[in-house]
Amino acid sequence: YINKKIPKSAQLIDTKVYLNYLEISQNGVININNKIDTQLYPFKYYEDGKSMIYTVLSLSFPKNMYISKDDIIKVNTNLYFESPDVILLGRNKENEEWKKINIIANTSLDEIYIYSDQIIDSKYKDFKIIISFPSIENEYVKNNTIYYNIHYLNYTIYKYIKFINIIIVFLLIIIFTYILLKLKNKKFLKQ
């Protein structure tokens, strides 16, 4: 399922994974009792003289946990993402086969937001996210430790948080502009 090829020189390294899972349901109730089955395949190689890690991360959803339209999965880690491939797989209830599901993935340096803007067919019973990305080796990797935080959010909550952040930034710009104008006026009056 992974589009990018892992370099032939890459070597699989022994790495501990510390995984935290947080679910926020549509009504805002937080549940931290669920566990995510995770598999991590870090490959070490060198590129342009830099020590690189190519990571393939497989995250299985807890049993009976379903992703639907406008739900969002947020993944952040102490590794920096560089052009990650992000795939959502669903297992068919009838034939047990895994199939790729269309999703939208927005990425920054250390975060991935995954969501679907389409209705996901109810024929799927299990879900798995595959994330693969190269990243420059850092102190955490040298110590054989990679931290991942997984958040399951409703997209409406995410949009609401983004809207509040935009308002805060806008207000800060207005306040900063007002202070600058006041200072300019004081200087003008002194002259």
Domain spanning 11-156, CATH architecture: Sandwich (2.60)
Q: Where is pLDDT greater, at 67 or 103?
A: 103
Q: Of the spans 30-44, 92-106, 140-154, which averages the highest pLDDT?
A: 92-106
Residue pLDDT, tens place only, 51-63: 777 777 777 766 6
Strands (E) in the chain, as ranges, are: 11-12, 16-24, 30-31, 37-47, 50-60, 71-77, 85-92, 98-101, 104-107, 111-115, 124-136, 145-154
pLDDT score of 155 more than 60: no
Q: What is the pLDDT of residue 26?
A: 46
Lowest mean pLDDT among 15-29, 38-52, 127-141: 15-29
CA distance 115 to 20: 20
Residue pLDDT, tens place only, 54-94: 777 777 766 666 666 667 777 776 666 667 788 888 888 88
